Every structure is written in structure tokens, then in C-alpha cells.
């Protein structure tokens, strides 16, 4: 594993960037773009995921705070809004499935990171 020199090196950030780009592309659909409230909200949620990851490496928020709250809240909002966009016909089934799969992948990566951090912290506290 290489050295992480910036947030751009994190797979979670890279995947969340893909998600945000694809959500922006989907919300440019003429029907979806007319629903400014939902399109804006889903764009902000997706952008929030990658922004929160970047903030951690810039030390604006604590890593544990980020892992336990910030990103989970963002990806839950994204998933919920994807369901709504699909249900009301703004996303095709294939668009929904692709975006949802990326959202789940970012969630899995960040969950793994949270578990690794908790294990590391537990190991650092236990006597050797």
C-alpha cells in the first residue's frame, strides 16, 4: 500500500467523486433538472460525501467524528434520494442501480475504515 499524501489518494474519495459526477450528469436530465429542490439536494448530498473525506485529511474534523457521523449521514441521504428519484421516474432502473451500487461501495469502504480505526484504537489502549 502506498503512502497517502492527500485525500485524492483515498479510494473512498475517488469513488465518491465518481458518484458525484454521475449524479450531476443524471440531474441534468431535462425532467430531473426541473425539480430544482430534489436535484439540488441529491447533488449536495453526493458532494458532501467527497467533501467530508477531504476535510478529514485537512484536519478540520476528527477522524472518528467523520467516520461515525459525517459520511454515513451523507450517504444515507444520497441513497434515500436515489430511491425517490427512481420512484418518481427521474432515473431509469439502470441509472438507479449504477448510482446505488457506487453509493453502497463507498459506504462499505468507509465502514471498513471505521472498523479498522476502532480496532487500531482498541489495540493502542490494551496492554501489550
Specify the CATH number for the domain of residue 78.
Answer: 1.20.1440.60
| pLDDT above 70 as % of the chain | 78
| Domain membership of residue 90 as a residue range | 10-122
Task: Read off φ and ψ for residue 117, nearest 5 degrees.
Answer: -65, -45
- 1 occurs within a structural domain: no
pLDDT value at residue 106: 86
Q: Are 54 and 92 in contact (CB under 8 A)?
A: no
- 47 occurs within a structural domain: yes
H/E stretch holding 40 reads helix 36-57
- 127 occurs within a structural domain: no
pLDDT value at residue 123: 80
How many folded domains does the chain comprise? 1
Q: What is the pTM of this model?
A: 0.80
- 128 occurs within a structural domain: no
- 4 occurs within a structural domain: no
- Structure confidence at residue 9 as a pLDDT band (50, 70, 90): confident
- 73 occurs within a structural domain: yes
Q: Report how far residue 85's alpha carbon sits from residue 99's, in angstroms, rounded to the nearest whole number.
A: 11
**pLDDT exceeds cutoff 60 at 119:** yes
Mean pLDDT value of segment 23-33: 95
- Structure confidence at residue 124 as a pLDDT band (50, 70, 90): confident
Reported in sequence order, the residue ranges of 28-107 that DSSP labels E, i.e. its strands, are none
Q: pLDDT, tens digit, for every residue of 42-67?
A: 999 889 888 887 876 665 555 555 55
Q: Which three cell numbers stand for residue 36?
A: 430544482
- 110 occurs within a structural domain: yes
Short-list 109, 116, 121, CA closest to 50: 109
- 48 occurs within a structural domain: yes
91: helix, strand or coil: coil
Q: Report how far residue 67's alpha carbon sits from residue 113's, in angstroms, rounded to the nearest whole number.
A: 8
- Structure confidence at residue 5 as a pLDDT band (50, 70, 90): confident
Q: Are 13 and 7 in contact (CB under 8 A)?
A: yes
Identify which has the larger pLDDT, 72 or 61: 72
pLDDT value at residue 13: 86
Short-list 75, 67, 60, 70, CA closest to 121: 67
Mean pLDDT value of segment 11-18: 90
Amino acid at each position: 500500500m502506498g503512502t497517502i499524501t492527500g485525500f485524492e489518494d483515498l479510494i473512498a474519495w475517488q469513488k465518491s467523486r465518481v458518484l458525484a459526477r454521475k449524479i450531476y450528469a443524471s440531474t441534468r436530465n431535462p425532467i430531473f433538472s426541473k425539480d430544482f429542490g430534489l436535484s439540488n439536494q441529491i447533488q449536495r448530498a453526493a458532494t458532501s460525501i467527497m467533501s467530508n473525506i477531504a476535510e478529514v485529511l485537512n484536519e478540520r474534523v476528527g477522524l472518528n467524528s467523520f467516520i461515525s457521523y459525517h459520511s454515513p449521514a451523507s450517504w444515507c441521504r444520497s441513497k434515500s434520494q436515489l430511491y425517490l428519484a427512481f420512484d418518481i421516474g427521474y432515473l431509469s432502473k439502470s441509472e438507479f442501480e449504477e448510482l446505488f451500487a457506487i453509493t453502497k461501495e463507498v459506504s462499505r469502504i468507509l465502514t471498513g475504515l471505521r472498523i479498522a480505526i476502532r480496532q487500531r484504537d482498541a489495540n493502542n489502549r490494551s496492554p501489550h
